[in-house]
Chain A
Amino acid sequence: MSNLEEKIDEAKKLSMQIVKETEADRLMTLSVGPQHPGSGHFRFVIKVDGDYIVNVDPDPGYVHRGHEKMCEYRNYFQNLPQLERPALHDSSNILYSYCLAVEDLVGINVPRRGQFIRAIASELDRLVYTQYWLAIYGIFLGHSTMFMWPAGDRELIIDLFERFSGHRVTHCFSIPGGVRNDFPYNFKEKCLTQVNYFEKRLKEYEHIFYNNPLFRQRTEGVGILPKEDAIKLGVTGSVLRASGVPYDIRKVEPYDIYDEIDFKVQHMKTCDSFARSYIPYLDMIESCHIIRQLLDKIPESGDVRVKLQGNMKGPPGESFKRVESGRGALGYHIVSDGASRPYRVKISTPSFRNLIALSYLLVGSKLGDMPSIYWSLNYWPIEADR
């Protein structure tokens, strides 16, 4: 008997040793991405304690291609096709601010009709981008209808792009001095038809997705980013406006003809994932209003671009111009030393600026909330890596 008791005692001691765990034992490290469909081409390492995230280390760079270095080897026009690569499906907007910066540097005034066409292309691209993002957001929250619908409706707007630029996604349409070509015959009517149809569809999106109780439960009150912290972290676009700061470059620093357009800067004060995902939806509605106004006000005829030399030289100096892209403020800082190639190009992309909020929002939240928070940031890894 005594032998047995001793053995039990020993076993108890041993089991005590086994159960005793350190903090390092409790934490589990998960590597999300870079080839995980849930993260895009982006890797982040998270540490979880049970169900809660305690540490996040974003590790971008999987699709870094050195666009800023490439710019130094090509002239101002050769840079256009490679600069739209970081944001393929928002290429009008990513080129828009490049064109504005080059025009500011060289001193070019774009003809009025060119400005309107450029703005219409930029608004249409905002729709294309937001639909793409909405499709991914839908599928990752388990809502496959929301994947199918925007992905299908997006084709209609891509068809419009095909009509006037000849390309579906990377159209390289805005160039320094205006746009590549004029609208084809009867484009206005076609565009209005598509926009009217799309506005009807938007109401259905709200009905099936944003009013869905499951979607609301997964996003409301999740990932709170208070106003003060949003300002401090310098986030931009829908992330900033969801935290109650009505800041839109189209309104605060209107470029081209945006000062003649009447639209609202959509913002919400709930600061959660739901607000961050609802703002792009409201932006789509505003974009439809803007496109209708632009089509109404566009001059009937006139030049669409200024003819420039292919190897145009930029005078020594620098310029910094921003536009409001589908994800937020997108700025180009171009330094020129008087040659036909830029001396230095810095692209300040909204995704890179919003990345800082990722670790802020994820730490302390549940692992299950990770997709809802991550995709609500409107993050596009390729654009952040450049």
Chain B
Amino acid sequence: MDSNIELKNENILLSVSSEILKSITDKFSNRIKIIYDIHNRSKIMVEPESLVETAIFLRDNFGFDHVESASGTDYPKEEKIEINYHLGTYSNSDLLPYVLVLSTKVDREDPKSNSLINILPSVELFERETYEMLGVYFIGHPRNERFLLPEDWADIPPLRKDFRSKGR
């Protein structure tokens, strides 16, 4: 009996996630790429220009109202920095366990990306941290400045791959 209920829920979720991905691809067609769609997790890659537009679309149509996490990953070989927003929802009861990773890749030499602070206020501290740790400048964020690191920190952003910890 219990297992039946679970199966139903999973089916509903899978259909919802595919529905979301389908409507996004319908709306943004070429500008969006689906990286994976596994159980309760999906990842989409957008161009930096359409990041804000996609976030607004996801918030208004599917109720993604906060970020679970936002971070960056350095890829020196591709000369890119990937920014990931793990979007979650509290208000859409169909999607409670679902996390959608909205990601974009910016240039490593001059990393700049539009801030999502006006769409999802919960990114505020995460973006500040990403600015400090990876050196990505968030356009529209009021405080791209020192946050967790010591005040006298004078080195490259520490989560870049070319930063080496002492003794390692």
Give the B-binding residues of A (Cβ under 8 A): 60-61, 64, 66, 68-70, 73, 231-234, 240, 245, 247, 252-253, 259-260, 317-320, 322, 329, 331, 333, 335, 343-344, 346, 348, 352-353, 355-356, 385-386
Complexed CA–CA distance, A259 and B2 (Å): 9
Judging by beta carbons under 8 Å apart, are B96 and A346 in contact?
no
Q: Give the nearest-CB partner of A253 in chain B.
A: B97
If A70-B165, A73-B165, A73-B168 touch, whether A234 touches B148 (CB-CB below 8 Å) is no
Complexed CA–CA distance, A68 and B159 (Å): 8
If A240-B90, A253-B96 touch, whether A348 touches B69 (CB-CB below 8 Å) is yes
Q: Smallest CB–CB gap between B124 and chain A, Å?
A: 6
Q: Could you say which residues of chain B place their CB within 8 Å of the CB of A319?
A: 41
Whether a CB of chain A sits under 8 angstroms from the CB of B121 is yes
A-B contact count (CB 8 A): 92
Judging by beta carbons under 8 Å apart, are A61 and B147 in contact?
yes
Known: A234-B67, A335-B73, A348-B68. 4 other contacts (CB 8 A): A68-B133, A69-B165, A231-B90, A348-B71
If A253-B40, A320-B41 touch, whether A259 touches B150 (CB-CB below 8 Å) is no
Whether a CB of chain A sits under 8 angstroms from the CB of B101 is yes
Whether a CB of chain A sits under 8 angstroms from the CB of B158 is yes
Within 8 A of A (CB), among B97-122: 97, 99, 101, 120-122
Residue B96 contacts which of A252, A343, A344 (CB distance < 8 angstroms)?
A252
Judging by beta carbons under 8 Å apart, are B124 and A356 in contact?
yes
Q: Could you say which residues of chain A place their CB within 8 Å of the CB of B148?
A: 60-61, 64, 385-386
Map CB proximity to A onto B56-69 as digits: 1 under 8 Å, 0 otherwise.
00000000011111
- By secondary structure, the B interface counts as mixed
**Most-contacted residue by chain A among B43, B69, B88 (CB, 10 A):** B69
Q: Smallest CB–CB gap between B52 and chain A, Å?
A: 17
Q: Give the nearest-CB partner of B77 in chain A.
A: A337
What are 5 A-B interface contacts by the 8 Å CB criterion?
A66-B158, A234-B120, A253-B97, A320-B68, A353-B125
Judging by beta carbons under 8 Å apart, are B96 and A247 in contact?
yes
Map CB proximity to A onto B144-167 as digits: 1 under 8 Å, 0 otherwise.
000111100000001100010100
Whether a CB of chain A sits under 8 angstroms from the CB of B84 is yes
Judging by beta carbons under 8 Å apart, are A320 and B96 in contact?
no
If A234-B120, A234-B122 touch, whether A333 touches B69 (CB-CB below 8 Å) is yes
Judging by beta carbons under 8 Å apart, are B68 and A322 in contact?
yes
Judging by beta carbons under 8 Å apart, are A346 and B90 in contact?
no
Q: Smallest CB–CB gap between A327 and chain B, Å?
A: 14
Report the 9 A-B pairs with minimum CB-CB distance, sorted nearest first.
A234-B122, A234-B66, A348-B69, A253-B97, A61-B148, A346-B71, A252-B96, A64-B148, A344-B73
Q: Smallest CB–CB gap between B154 and chain A, Å?
A: 16
Judging by beta carbons under 8 Å apart, are A346 and B69 in contact?
yes
Q: Smallest CB–CB gap between B84 and chain A, Å?
A: 7
Whether a CB of chain A sits under 8 angstroms from the CB of B91 is yes
Judging by beta carbons under 8 Å apart, are A231 and B66 in contact?
yes
Whether a CB of chain A sits under 8 angstroms from the CB of B26 is no
Residue B99 contacts which of A60, A64, A320 (CB distance < 8 angstroms)?
A320
Residue A61 contacts which of B67, B90, B124, B149 (CB distance < 8 angstroms)?
B149
Complexed CA–CA distance, A78 and B86 (Å): 27
Judging by beta carbons under 8 Å apart, are B149 and A356 in contact?
no
Judging by beta carbons under 8 Å apart, are B40 and A331 in contact?
no
Judging by beta carbons under 8 Å apart, are B158 and A69 in contact?
yes
Q: Give the nearest-CB partner of A229 in chain B.
A: B121
Q: Could you say which residues of chain B place their CB within 8 Å of the CB of A353?
A: 122, 125
Q: Smallest CB–CB gap between B92 and chain A, Å?
A: 11
Q: Could you say which residues of chain B place their CB within 8 Å of the CB of A253?
A: 40, 96-97
Judging by beta carbons under 8 Å apart, are B158 and A232 in contact?
no
Q: Could you say which residues of chain A place their CB within 8 Å of the CB of B168?
A: 73
Complexed CA–CA distance, A12 and B11 (Å): 82
Map CB proximity to A onto B69-99 as digits: 1 under 8 Å, 0 otherwise.
1010110000000001010101100001101
Q: Smallest CB–CB gap between B153 and chain A, Å?
A: 10
Q: Smallest CB–CB gap between A193 and chain B, Å?
A: 31
Judging by beta carbons under 8 Å apart, are B90 and A247 in contact?
yes
